[in-house]
Amino acid sequence: MSHREPACRPPSPAAYAKHAMPYEPPTHTVERSLRATTGAKIIAGIDEVGRGAWAGPVTVCAAITGLRRPPEGLTDSKLLTIKRRTELAETLRSWVTAYALGHASPQEIDDLGMTAALRLAACRALEGLPVRPDAVILDGKHDYLGAPWRVRTVIKGDQSCVAVAAASVIAKVQRDKLMAELGADHADFGFADNAGYPSPVHRAALEVRGPTPHHRLSWAYLDALPQWRHLKKVRTVANGSVPEIEGQLGFDF
């Protein structure tokens, strides 16, 4: 017997972030496929936020949604205005079956590298759920989670999969709130607006004040700050080589 996805209308144009294009609403297609091919009953969607930031943690949300019709306008958090994203996160927190957040600190990112830090944050999120998922839908091309989790990677899963889209919105709103709180003691850095990501205000503050305790000190931006370059941490791997910078944004972002 075939399954038809319940209709989920996209939001009004005013809900889209600037330059965002209209999108097809997410579905449960991947989740249904996992159920049919693996026998999985409990499936979590996972998405991360903060990977490319200069400051703050990398945050992962794991969300379990079941096969219910999602709230209207659900999509990748980056496609929504701040107002709509915040409203939707409030709805999602009570709509999802369960969700949990995991963080990896700047210090852990410096010590482990981004791939391992993502795995740490994702494991913390999954272990924070009230039930253990039988399978995981992971946004993106690369499986940074690995065994013992049964993982299905989906490119643009935050747009196409309901559970991943829900995780995307919750993770983004929660991390933005955290960064605004951290920024209360570092007003010049504009964390409430840039969430620790590269921006002209953030760059100017770094040039004058140097990194805060919330900054990642192994990141490439320090190479362009002569007076603060001595603070940079260089991480080496087992063979003594210096690892790649894993998609970091330097000062010329």
Entry field: residues in the chain:
253
Which two tokens mark 111?
A: 């010590």
Note the pLDDT of residue 13. Answer: 53
pLDDT (tens digit, 9 = 90+) per residue, 75-94?
Answer: 888 888 899 999 999 999 99
- Sign of the CA dihedral with 65 first, then 84, 101, and 46 last: positive
3-class secondary structure, 240:
coil
Record the pTM.
0.85
SS3 55: strand
Predicted local distance difference test score (pLDDT) of residue 56? 97
Beta carbons of 56 and 174 less than 8 angstroms apart: no
Does position 238 have pLDDT exceeding 60, yes or no?
Answer: no
Give the pLDDT mean for 19-30: 76
Q: What is the dihedral of CA 125, 126, 130, 133, to 10 degrees?
A: 150
Report the Cα 73 to chain-centroid distance in Å.
Answer: 19
At how many degrees (to 10) do helices 162-182 and 82-95 cross?
A: 120
Tokens of 155: 């490119």
pLDDT above 70 (res 4): no
Q: In Å, what is the CA distance from 92 to each residue of 98, 128, 151, 155, 227?
A: 10, 17, 23, 22, 45
**Peptide linkage before 148 cis (omega within 30 of 0):** yes
What pLDDT, on a 0 to 100 scale, did the predictor assign at position 119?
96
Domain architecture of the chain: domains with CATH? 13-182 (3.30.420.10)
pLDDT band at 1 (very low <50, low <70, confident <90, very high): very low
**Do residues 236 and 252 touch, judged by C-beta distance below 8 A?**
no
Residue 23: pLDDT band with limits 50, 70, 90? low
The rounded distance, in Å, linking the Cα atoms of 145 and 168 is: 17
